[in-house]
Amino acid sequence: MGQAARAAARLMARASTAAKNRALRAIATQIEAQRAQLTEANIRDMQAGLAQGLDAALLDRLELDNPRIDAMIAGLLQVADLPDPVGEIENLHYRPSGIQVGRMRVPLGVVGIIYESRPNVTIDAASLCLKSGNATILRGGSEALHSNQAIAACIVAGLRASDLPETAVQVVGTSDRAAVGALITMPEYLDVIVPRGGTGLIERVSREASVPVIKHLHGVCHVYIDDRADPKKAFDIALNAKTRRYGVCNAMETLLVAEGIAAEILPDLAAAFESRGVELRGCERTREILPRCLAAMEADWTEEYLAPILSIRVVADMEAAMAHIARYGSGHTDAIVTEDYSRSRRFLTEVDSSSVMVNASTGFADGYEYGLGAEIGISTDKIHARGPVGLEGLTSRKWIVLGNGHIRQ
Amino acid sequence: MGQAARAAARLMARASTAAKNRALRAIATQIEAQRAQLTEANIRDMQAGLAQGLDAALLDRLELDNPRIDAMIAGLLQVADLPDPVGEIENLHYRPSGIQVGRMRVPLGVVGIIYESRPNVTIDAASLCLKSGNATILRGGSEALHSNQAIAACIVAGLRASDLPETAVQVVGTSDRAAVGALITMPEYLDVIVPRGGTGLIERVSREASVPVIKHLHGVCHVYIDDRADPKKAFDIALNAKTRRYGVCNAMETLLVAEGIAAEILPDLAAAFESRGVELRGCERTREILPRCLAAMEADWTEEYLAPILSIRVVADMEAAMAHIARYGSGHTDAIVTEDYSRSRRFLTEVDSSSVMVNASTGFADGYEYGLGAEIGISTDKIHARGPVGLEGLTSRKWIVLGNGHIRQ
């Protein structure tokens, strides 16, 4: 598979934008045509999952119902409509030596994606890799094997219909766990690995991979309400950041409040959270203001709840808030609510997270919201791609030099 | 050291451009003031090296004579004059939701540099990391320990004089090989490792590191002379690419010549190479044209000679040349000489190397020539930085979001 991917990558790198878009649309057509077969394959996985006693959340992620198939088709057409990043040349300029130097955006080569249960990731990942001119090896969860193979058949048919190499997208057809180990230790065939899934998977891949990894670990996101915050904005943002959705990585997990505004803002906010069933766990000073609030433990500050639970800490000032974020945060997304110009600039500059926000909900940390069109994940790494990773994150830039017989003295 | 570096990195990330430039100039002043001590420390290393029987090339790299000290000082002042990349905000634009989104360039954090013998790398690396707002841990070769510690003393004095944290640049003060192993496996304290040195060092670091690596492996560079090349440009470029300097990674190691032009171009070129003492090793068809040329073995095509040796292969056409480069090249720098418009475009697009050139010598693949001001190395990786790595390669970009109380629906 590695060799086939490497060969396909060379052809994909030179594939025209039109050919790649044709393939994406052909795959969408195949998925529509194979809807019954996809559903059937998915039912097999669901029944096996039920028999194995998978929990309800896992079964929900595994399910491929009609709305999800519709979303896969829509996603393919949307990626076809995105601009092609490959071949873009930036900053081509003359140097004193007379050569003209610039950078050209090129595919990474072969991208490995390792993911769990959700079969629709197969299409999301394949479409972004295809559009960015990469070959892909996909390794989904064993519980979704039949669904993934049915999707893979649609992809192969779409590639064939558009004269792109069939091995440009390959789905590992075994549920053998050793396949993951093999995939992440073949740097001669893979240029990057993107693990998508739980912390266990990502930590294993990071630890064992000899291929570079674009990884998304925890999202322990903070909102800091400064004493110069507009209370209305603070209320709206804190509520939205926590309660828009609970199981997402950009949800606020810890609310930091300046002591100068805590007594004014916390009671109303706590009432709003409680009315939505959010459990509050506060520091001592929080509990002086909110007597019914549970006591937060040290472990609460590093916990990614992904649930209707919120930890709250009253801090002296922005300095203390930034120190808390530096110590306990995960470098995902952190926001300040303030009307103070200098503090907003300092927070933006000094907080070292993949997204830093002023007067906006952490819920905006997302490839679609940022205008990337689609995302393959949100990177909490600093190297290569940081934050939401779209087509650009699946490319690299090489230098190009145009001369006219120039030699270096 | 890791903890101290992490703490210093937070302060360095917010250091003003003026403070960083002051520190660079103060270090230059210290080096000038400590010239005698640097020379004395270096003599100790040189004597120990002689006693240990280091070879002449290694002793040459180890030596810190007055011109090299001058170059260190000039380098520091030059980096001080470079624009500061930190804090640059790109493409801040409004999204339909009303938020304003952009990307801000930020330091990577803590950069580890592992290098061999040449003590001037201590200053090159420290100055680039300092200017890009990173903290640095430097681990030089054991044979240069006294020289590196004398340089480190100048750096600490310079940092102290300009109110930057002294631990922003730390030099590992032991020649214990285990220090390298420790350094490359502490991702909690290091954000990236840059190994600079021989293949053995780089392969060891790549294999064992759990910290991301920006690495420079082989430079097996090609010049392909197309049958539509201008013979004068082809002659000049091929000669320059090989003979400008032999021991550098951007030197041509294999010359590929289209069969349609080989008989015309090779005799003059071979005579020029031979007059400069370059040993030629050719394929069979090359040897039909150049009977005195040695026979190239399969191993010649992948060899980075770093010496006055050149392998030559006659190929059918550009397609065959690109296939040769894809198979045997190292993805460093490859050039075509041609007057053909479509071929120049195809070569630029399809050759997957960190620098791809048309009608220019591979010798231009260099941070200074590309306008980066200085380089910390030339990356043959595809992830993060590719080709010459300057200040920008030591930074990352985070997303910033400016709102006015915006919440996500």
What are A83-137's pLDDT values in tens digits? 999 999 999 999 999 999 999 999 999 999 998 878 988 999 999 999 999 999 9
Q: Do A236 and B397 touch (CB under 8 A)?
A: no
Task: Please count the other Cβ atoms lying within 10 Å of the Cβ belonging to residue A165.
Answer: 18
The answer to whether B39 touches B70, Cβ cutoff 8 Å, is no
Which residue from A104, A109, A360 is facing B406, i.e. has the nearest CB? Answer: A360
Lowest-pLDDT range of B114-118, B224-228, B317-321, B324-328? B114-118
Chain A positions in Cβ-Cβ contact with residue B192 (cut-off 8 Å):
382-383
Topology of the domain covering B221-369? Aldehyde Dehydrogenase; Chain A, domain 2 (3.40.309)
More confident of the two residues A331 and B187: A331
- Using DSSP's 3-state secondary structure scheme, residue B263 falls into helix
Average pLDDT along chain B: 94
Q: What is the pLDDT of residues A153-172, one digit of tens each?
A: 999 999 999 999 999 999 99
Q: Report the phi/psi class of residue B300: left, alpha or beta, with left for phi > 0 and alpha for psi in -120 to 50.
A: alpha
- Inform me whether the pLDDT recorded for B397 exceeds 80: yes
Task: Label residues B157-180 b or e (16+ Cβ within 10 Å = b).
Answer: bbbeebebbebbbbbbeeeeeebb
Q: Give ipTM to 2 decimals.
A: 0.92
What are the domain boundaries of chain B?
A: 2-215+381-402, 221-369
pLDDT value for A207: 84
Task: Tell whether the model's pLDDT for residue B252 goes beyond 90.
Answer: yes
Give the pLDDT confidence score for residue A290 in this predicted structure.
Answer: 97
The answer to whether the CB atoms of A400 and B356 lie below 8 A apart is yes
Q: What is the pLDDT of residue A217?
A: 77
Q: Is the dihedral of CA B152, B155, B159, B161 positive or negative?
A: positive
- Mutation pick from B383, B384, B389 vs chain A, by most beta carbons of A within 10 Å, is B383
Confidence at residue A180, expressed as pLDDT on a 0 to 100 scale: 87
Instruction: Indicate yes or no: CB of A383 within 8 angstroms of CB of B191.
Output: yes
Nearest residue in B to A399, CA atom: B355
Which chain B positions have a beta carbon within 8 Å of A375's beta carbon?
none
Name the more confident of A204 and B96.
B96
**Which of A206, A230, A398 is closest, CB to CB, to B355?**
A398
Q: Which of A213, A239, A361, A401 best tests the B interface by mutation, with the highest count of B CBs <10 A?
A: A401
* DSSP output for B106-145: EE-SEEEEEE-S-THHHHHHHHHHHHTT-EEEEE--GGGH
What pLDDT score does A151 carry? 96
On chain A, the residues whose CB falls within 8 A of the CB of B346 are 14
Specify the CATH number of the domain A221-364.
Answer: 3.40.309.10
Comparing A239-253, B78-92, B166-180, B231-245, the range with the smallest average pLDDT is B166-180
Mean pLDDT of chain A: 94
Residue-level pLDDT at A373 = 82
- In this model, does residue A175 exceed pLDDT 80? no
**pLDDT for B216:** 81
Local confidence band at B215 (pLDDT 50, 70, 90 cut-offs): confident
Contacts A398 to B, Cβ<8 Å: 352-356, 386-387
Percent of chain B, pLDDT > 70?
100
Q: Which DSSP symbol is given to A391? A: T
* Among candidate residues A397, A376, A400, A401, the one with its CA nearest the CA of residue A388: A376
Write down the pLDDT at residue A199.
82
| Residue B274 burial class via C-beta count within 10 angstroms: exposed 0-12, middle 13-18, buried 19 and up | middle
Classify each residue of A91-124 as buried b or exposed e, where b means 16 or more C-beta atoms within 10 Å of its C-beta.
eeeeeebebbbbbbbbbbbbbbbbbbbbbbbbbb
Domain A2-215+381-402 architecture: 3-Layer(aba) Sandwich (3.40)
Tens of pLDDT, residues A209-235: 888 888 887 899 999 999 999 999 999
Chain centroid, CA A38 distance in Å: 25
Is pLDDT above 90 for B174? no
pLDDT, residue B116, reads: 84
pLDDT value at A381 more than 90: no
Q: Is residue B208 very low, low, confident or very high in pLDDT (cuts 50, 70, 90)?
A: confident
Read off the pLDDT of residues A267-321 as tens digits, 9 standing for 90 and up: 999 999 999 999 999 999 999 999 999 999 999 999 999 999 999 999 999 999 9
Q: Which of B30-34, B124-128, B334-338 has the lowest mean pLDDT?
A: B124-128
Confidence (pLDDT) at B393: 93
- Check B244 against A396: CB less than 8 A apart: no
| Model pLDDT, residue A133 | 97
C-alpha distance from residue B362 to each of A377, B38, B332, B355 (Å): 37, 36, 10, 8
B175 pLDDT above the threshold of 80: no
pLDDT the model gives residue B228: 98
Across the strands, what pairs with A107?
Answer: A395
Question: How does residue A196 score in pLDDT terms, banded at 50, 70 and 90?
Answer: confident
Q: Which residues in chain B touch residue A101, judged by CB atoms under 8 angstroms apart? A: 369-371
pLDDT at residue A120, as a whole number:
87
Find the residue in A nearest to B394 (Cα).
A383
Instruction: Please give, rounded to a whole number of angstroms, the shortest distance from the CA of B234 to a CA of chain A.
Output: 7
Residues 6+ positions from A232 with CB-CB distance below 8 Å: B405
Q: pLDDT exceeding 90 applies to what percent of chain A?
A: 81
Cβ atoms within 10 Å of A404's Cβ, excluding its own: 13
Q: Which residues of A touch B384 (CB under 8 A)?
A: 383-384
